[in-house]
A = this chain, B = another copy of it.
Amino acid sequence: MKLTAHQIEQFDRDGYLFFPSIFTPAEMKVLLDEVPKLYALRRPENVREKDSEAVRTNFAAHLYSEPFARLARHPRMVEPVVQLFDEQVYMHQFKINGKMAFAGDVWQWHQDYGTWMNDDLMPTARAMNVAIFLDEVNEFNGPLMFIPGSHKQGALPAGHDTSTTSYPLWTIDNDAIRKLVDKGGIVAPKGPAGSMILFHGCLVHASTANLSPWNRVAVYLSLCAVSNHIRRFKRPEYIAHRDFTPIAPLADDCLLKPYPVDLPWKDGTPSSAYETEKAA
């Protein structure tokens, strides 16, 4: 899995790359079958929606679920990121966002790097977001919306929104969004389960509520260049990871064969993961 010169240019210009159906239905089924079990867990890693019991986001499943631990080491996902950064990467954040049928709430306009910088003291934006669709994404189930080119702005001023949804977020004000959209428009990549998006940590994005009867479960991995690791442990470890070991990719068939993986949090979240406000 090597990006072409054209793809690298496109990523630089637009801030994202879309790979429809890069994983097969059989590979996605292995992951999707695991989601209800994970969402049923009463662990701090499950953040539920404001107005329902539906899971909004599940954190760090790669530390306690075999299929997701293998996904976290998948070469089709890791290699293009290593290529773009020309450096090894570690897992900064690992989420399974529900955006469940009828219940999935909005994510306001934000840059992920805003949070990594403000909360985690990540030095630069050399961390990549990867979205992998476990369900089909269509116009009705709350697709990710991007403002192409907005990553060129670097980190934008942001306010900490703690009230709109169940999950606090550093969000960007309406006037700034209006200006960015005037210039770059809005796109919303849609496609079958197994599609993947790579997007820049400074790319401004949002998603609307899911009123449809179709779940829109997606995995969001944030892979950080090792030298760019975070400098402060303000957020719990299940949200912002503290292990900067480079990811060692498995074989390309790792979702379909039982390659052995470590599951250090299999029996629960270690108490050290809750210790916060420490320097890294």
Contact B213 A177 (CB under 8 A): yes
Bitwise, A209-232 to B at CB < 8 A (1) or not (0) is 101110000000000000000000
Q: Contact partner of A102 among B174, B207, B209, CB < 8 A?
A: B174
Cβ of A208 within 8 Å of any chain B Cβ, yes or no, is yes
A102-B177, A174-B101, A177-B102 in contact; A139/B211 too (CB < 8 A)? no
Chain A positions 78-107 with a Cβ under 8 Å from a chain B Cβ: 101-102, 106
Contact A209 B212 (CB under 8 A): no
A145 / chain B contacts, CB cutoff of 8 Å: 140, 211-212
Shortest Cβ gap from A207 to chain B (Å): 8
Give the number of copies in the complex.
Answer: 2
Chain A positions 186-214 with a Cβ under 8 Å from a chain B Cβ: 186, 188, 206-209, 211-213
Shortest Cβ gap from A186 to chain B (Å): 5
Bound complex: CA of A51 vs CA of B145, how far in Å? 22
Cβ of A108 within 8 Å of any chain B Cβ, yes or no, is yes
Closest to A214 in B: B181
Q: Contact partner of A211 among B51, B101, B108, CB < 8 A?
A: B108
Bitwise, A165-184 to B at CB < 8 A (1) or not (0) is 00000000010011001100
A164 / chain B contacts, CB cutoff of 8 Å: 51
Chain A positions 103-118 with a Cβ under 8 Å from a chain B Cβ: 106, 108-109
Shortest Cβ gap from A71 to chain B (Å): 29
Contact B211 A109 (CB under 8 A): yes
Contact B106 A211 (CB under 8 A): yes
A140-B186, A145-B140 in contact; A178/B213 too (CB < 8 A)? yes
A145-B140, A186-B140, A188-B139 in contact; A209/B106 too (CB < 8 A)? yes
Closest to A175 in B: B213
Bound complex: CA of A182 vs CA of B209, how far in Å? 20
Bound complex: CA of A213 vs CA of B186, how far in Å? 10
A208 / chain B contacts, CB cutoff of 8 Å: 142, 208-209, 211
Shortest Cβ gap from A136 to chain B (Å): 13
Identify 29 residue pairs between A and B in the complex whose beta-carbon atoms are under 8 Å apart, listed by A's number. A51-B164, A101-B174, A101-B178, A102-B174, A102-B177, A106-B209, A106-B211, A108-B211, A109-B211, A139-B139, A139-B188, A140-B145, A140-B186, A142-B208, A145-B211, A145-B212, A174-B213, A177-B213, A178-B213, A181-B212, A181-B213, A182-B213, A186-B212, A206-B211, A207-B211, A208-B208, A208-B209, A208-B211, A209-B209
19 additional contacts (CB under 8 A) given A51-B164, A207-B211: A101-B178, A102-B177, A106-B209, A106-B211, A108-B211, A109-B211, A139-B139, A140-B145, A140-B186, A140-B188, A142-B208, A145-B212, A177-B213, A178-B213, A181-B212, A186-B212, A208-B208, A208-B209, A208-B211
